[in-house]
Amino acid sequence: MVYDVIVIGSGPAGLAAAIYAQRARLSCMVLEKEYISGGQVVNTYEVDNYPGLPGIGGFELGMKFREHAEKLGAKFTNIEVRHVGLEDEGRIKVAYTDGEEFRARALVLAMGAKYRHLEVPGEKQLTGMGVSYCATCDGAFFKGRTVAVVGGGDVAVEDALFLARGCAKVYLIHRRDELRAAASLQEQLRKCENVEFIWNTEVKEIAGDDHVECLRLREKTGGTERVLDVDGVFIAVGTIPNTEIITKLLHLDPYGYVAAGEDGITEIPGIFAAGDLRTKQLRQIVTAASDGANVITSVQNYLNAL
């Protein structure tokens, strides 16, 4: 069978694309390697910034997206795509898996991105219980409390600025002696009286029983270790787009993201990108869902022109 569109990935972008594809009466297949739909959102304990659903659990929100798509008739196959190719002079897009090949006239890439981790003890166990990778998602839960931000780029400084507005104390921990963030951002942060910089220091452990209680830090030059009491830690050391399956097919920016605008159009006709794996300013649940809607409009325009 040749579908109108295949969607690879079932996070907010992929599921929104499936919903809009069904509403457009396109034959659509969603290919997902995870057993649970929702992408990164399912690992978020509580989502407080999705319009109309404040405080909803991340897992519950992911399930609502999936249920909505299924209610409209979207089809899902739990399988991992190994690579993507073209047939019939590019008119047919093929998703290759270990056991099957799926064909469509259009393809939506919605594999998302993953946060880069520190890979230290306690990080994985306490994710969602004080360990966060998104200040705008989770910062409100730490109002009046003490937190740390780990990183030195624009995102880390922006996170620290955001948190400083509501937290009693914000530590910015960076492994170097100067930040990589834009000078204007640094100037703003240095004006915050409740922000303290910790230079040339790495986090060696995140500790706590059922929530973050402290960080074990080590100074890089002298090796001195100390314990820093915090209620939460926001890790901002970058993201890694899940673009491994299309590295030989599409142009990626220097950071590995698919070069595509809000319409999702890539340099290959009929292949579109949506969500966190594309070049964009803000990576949030709501912007991923928006991408999914936009990209199906582009898919329709492409199919109508064939």
According to DSSP, the β-strands at 195-198 and 201-207 are unpaired
Greatest C-alpha distance within the chain: 65
In the set 28, 137, 167, 214, the catalytic residue is 137
* 131: amino acid identity, one letter: V
Contact 270, 90 (CB under 8 A): yes
- 14, 82, 94: which is closest to 245 by C-alpha? 82
Question: For residues 305 and 289, what is the distance between their CA atoms, to the nearest angstrom?
Answer: 25
Going by the DSSP 8-state scheme, the letter that residue 27 receives in this structure is: -
Three-state DSSP class for 88?
coil
Tokens of 237: 């050391």
| Residue at token pair 């594999």 | 111
Is 138 designated active site? yes
Element at 233 (helix H, strand E): strand 232-235
Q: What is the DSSP-derived secondary structure letter of residue 272?
A: E
276 carries an active-site annotation:
no
Catalytic member of 134, 159, 214, 231 = 134
Cβ neighbors of 144 (< 8 A, separation 6 or more) are 166, 167, 168
Q: Of the listed 4, 88, 98, 138, which one is catalytic?
A: 138
Give 226's strand partners.
Answer: 217
Catalytic (active site) residue 134: yes
Q: Which helix or strand (DSSP H or E) is residue 204 part of?
A: strand 201-207
Q: Which residues are catalytic?
A: 134, 137-138
